[in-house]
Amino acid sequence: MRLFWLLAALMSAFLLSAGADAQGQRDWRKAVRATPGGAHVVGNPAAKVKLVEYLSYTCPHCGEFVRDSKAPLLDGMVRNGSVSIELRPLTRNGIDLAAGMLVRCTGPAGLLAAQEAVFAQQPAMLAKAQRLQIAQDAPQAQQLKAAADGTGLTALLDKRIPGGAAKCLAATADRDRLIAIAQGASGRIRGTPSFEINGQLVEGHDWASLEPQLRAAGAR
């Protein structure tokens, strides 16, 4: 009987340890949720460090930041649960708005991959944008579709979006949410990329400036 209870205790300890290990090894990059304000948060809801990113899809420095920060920030700090990221896309023009809507329409599970794909294609997208001619008197949904088609965004993201890109770009709710995010940042955010750490706007506009501030706040 004593042997039975000893084995039971050992098994219980093993299961508790395995559960703790599994929790510690969770990939928090896969936890993506919408906020009431229309943004998206990636990572552990209980993260010690809460980072807000203000990025523009047509901002080359934002593209550099996404590339430079991916391995240490997303694949490190966010994955291990010490940092969460709230993504607040800043709409500066029609291409930004089209890109933001299409990325949102891929859904929470596809959001990060879609954002990375847009920034990876950014140089080609901006080059095509220089040749765009869009009728300014056309309905906004048509203007957005023309911008997406002409810059390669439709070809890039259409198959990732349930219902397709055209349906996504006609949805006024997502359009209004993105415009509201930009309006809410107006006056506070002077340029992109910009960052908040735990509710405080911080200095610097690149990964080299941001990383030590994240570490000081408790990121690991």
Question: What would the pLDDT profile of 170-186 be if each residue is shown by its tens digit?
Answer: 999 999 999 999 999 99
The CATH number of the domain where 184 resides is what? 3.40.30.10
Residue 193 scores a pLDDT above 80:
yes
- pLDDT at residue number 25: 85
Domain that holds residue 172: 2-217
Q: Is residue 168's pLDDT more than 80?
A: yes
Token pair, residue 150, equals 């002409």
* Residues in CB range of 99: below 8 A, 6 or more apart: 57, 58, 89, 118, 125, 148, 153
pLDDT at 15: 45
pLDDT at residue 13, rounded to an integer: 46
Which residues have a Cβ under 8 Å from the Cβ of 92 and sit 6 or more positions away?
Answer: 56, 58, 59, 182, 192
Stretch 87-91: mean pLDDT, rounded? 97
Residues 74, 79, 80, 83, CA torsion sign: positive
What is the rounded average pLDDT for all residues in the chain? 91
The pTM for the full model equals 0.87
Please say if the pLDDT value at position 2 is more than 70: no
Tell me the pLDDT band of 24, cut-offs 50, 70 and 90.
low
Q: What are the tens digits of pLDDT across the range 107-143? A: 999 999 999 999 999 999 999 999 999 988 999 999 9
Res. 20: pLDDT tops 50? no
Using DSSP bridges, classify how beta strands 40-42 and 83-89 pair: parallel, antiparallel or unpaired. Answer: antiparallel
> Is residue 11 over pLDDT 90?
no
pLDDT band at 4 (very low <50, low <70, confident <90, very high): very low
pLDDT at 17 over 80: no
Express as a percent the part of the chain with pLDDT over 90: 86
Give the number of residues written for the chain.
Answer: 220
Q: Is the pLDDT of residue 209 over 50?
A: yes
Higher pLDDT, 61 or 20: 61
For residues 156 and 169, give the distance between their C-alpha atoms in angstroms, rounded to a whole number: 14
Contact 117, 128 (CB under 8 A): no
Q: Look at the chain and report how many structural domains it folds into.
A: 1
CA–CA separation, 116 vs 70, rounded Å? Answer: 9
- Cβ atoms within 10 Å, residue 69: 24
Strand 32-34 relative to strand 49-55: parallel, antiparallel, unpaired? unpaired
The encoded tokens of residue 99 equal 């890109």
